[in-house]
Structure 1
Amino acid sequence: MLSSIQSFLRRFTARPLLPKVVPIRTLKAKHRPLVLHHLLQLSDADRFLRFGYLANDAQITRYVEKLDFTRDEVFGVFNRRLQLIAMAHLGYGATPQADAEFGVSVLKSARGLGLGARLFARAGMHARNRNVKTMCIHALTQNSAMLKIAINAGARVVYYGTEAEAYLQLPAPAMDTRLAQRLEQRFADADYFLKKQWLRASGGR
């Protein structure tokens, strides 16, 4: 256990690995407008993959209004201008077959950085620390990027025509996963604070 903690700290602080650490913040109800703005930027094709249907602005607005930030967990990645470029929703008790359901969206400008996989890993750690046994993803079969993330994580995928469900079994929480969650949150909060200070100093440019 000690070696696991030391390994995490080395990964967290070693200079050569810092660029690989993505600050992922836990979002609260006050971030609802940012979540809405993020989702409304998605193209029709991205909306179709994210929600399983071509969600219009009104449907996305209702989805965001119903987000329960107390029960569920919402995670976000901000760029240096504090724009929400990627976000994930981990809904608890969403389906009878799983204890938590994962959904993610990444803006086109932030593709290819592995943010979807990192958000999935972060959500899995949080779910594990809440003693969740099974996390699932409901996706269209054409959403190959999302299904690839699930498969690479070890999930079992079941196909139903044009739709698919991926189930990931999570181990019991451990001391190092709880510590990692706290450290990653502190790192993300510090990163956000520094970006905010930089934005103010640069006059918002």
Structure 2
Amino acid sequence: MMRVPAEGTIRRLWACDMSLFRDHLLRLDQDSRFERFGAYTNDSQINQYVDSCYGPDEIIFGYVVDGVVRGAGELRAIGASFLPEGAAEAAFSVEQGWRRRGVGTNFMRRIVRAARNRRIHTLYLSCLAHNAKMVGLARKFETELSFETDEVTGRLVARTPTTTSILSELIDNSLDMTEAMFDFQKRVLTAVEARH
């Protein structure tokens, strides 16, 4: 679990957080949806997309503020699963009003570490070449990635996972799962109280 300046927390989103992730994507305005998916996307398409998430080949991080997901960073395997020297896609979305708080940088840090720990070789950034904010974010990680000429494809620098990188991800995942369970329990109790 990583604290972000101001009021939010970056943590992994688990299956119990699916509704929070869905609500976040549905709140995105049309321009933000276009930046995230590379096309204009309606609510039905977003619902179908979220229903396909949370398999073993996807890791989703959320920027959670007062129990609400305001941003998401995703690492999705390209192909059947995460394979050594395989490829994966990184995608980001942050709601208007919650940007410029270091959220994207924190997402990228967690995504690069997760990709390295799974020995992913090529990391595709899901953004359009004219998306200067995303290209700038990717450039912050030039020590971790080398970039192709299209400016949106990064090749992870050949580094094997270390004991530290694996343990730090394991610890973060454990803390993130604990927070997710508390958040889920709070949502269930609030719903039960609302019925009475």
Q: Is TM more than 0.5 here?
A: yes
- Find the counterpart in structure 1 of residue 70 from structure 2: 85
- Find the counterpart in structure 1 of residue 129 from structure 2: 141
DSSP 3-state at the match of 1:33: helix
Among all aligned residue pairs of Structure 1 and Structure 2, give the percentage whose two residues are the same amino acid.
24
- Find the counterpart in structure 2 of residue 33 from structure 1: 19
Question: Structure 1: which 5+ residue stretches go unaligned?
Answer: 1-11, 13-17
The correspondence of residues 30-109 of structure 1 with structure 2, limited to 5 A, is: 30-80=16-66, 82-94=67-79, 99-109=87-97
Shift of 1:147: 1.0
Structure 1 stretch displaced more, 64-73 or 31-40:
64-73
Alignment root-mean-square deviation, CA:
3.1
Change in Cα spacing, 1:56 to 1:105, as seen in structure 2 (3 Å) is same
Instruction: After superposition, give the CA deviation of every residue in 1:131-180 in whole Å (9 maximum; x if it has no partner).
Output: 21222213212211111111110140432xxxx53213142100110121
DSSP 3-state at the match of 1:182: helix
Change in Cα spacing, 1:101 to 1:194, as seen in structure 2 (3 Å) is same
| Runs of 4+, deviation exceeding 6 Å | 193-201
- Find the counterpart in structure 1 of residue 152 from structure 2: 165
- Find the counterpart in structure 1 of residue 106 from structure 2: 118
DSSP 3-state at the match of 1:37: helix
Matched, 1:188 2:176: yes
Q: What is the rounded CA distance, in whole Å, between the counterparts of 1:197 and 1:57 in structure 2?
A: 27
DSSP 3-state at the match of 1:34: helix
Taking structure 1 as the reference length, the TM-score comes to 0.74
Say how many residue pairs are matched. Answer: 181
Partner amino acid for 2:77? Y
DSSP 3-state at the match of 2:97: helix
Question: Structure 2: which 5+ residue stretches go unaligned?
Answer: none
Q: Which has the higher helix share?
A: 1
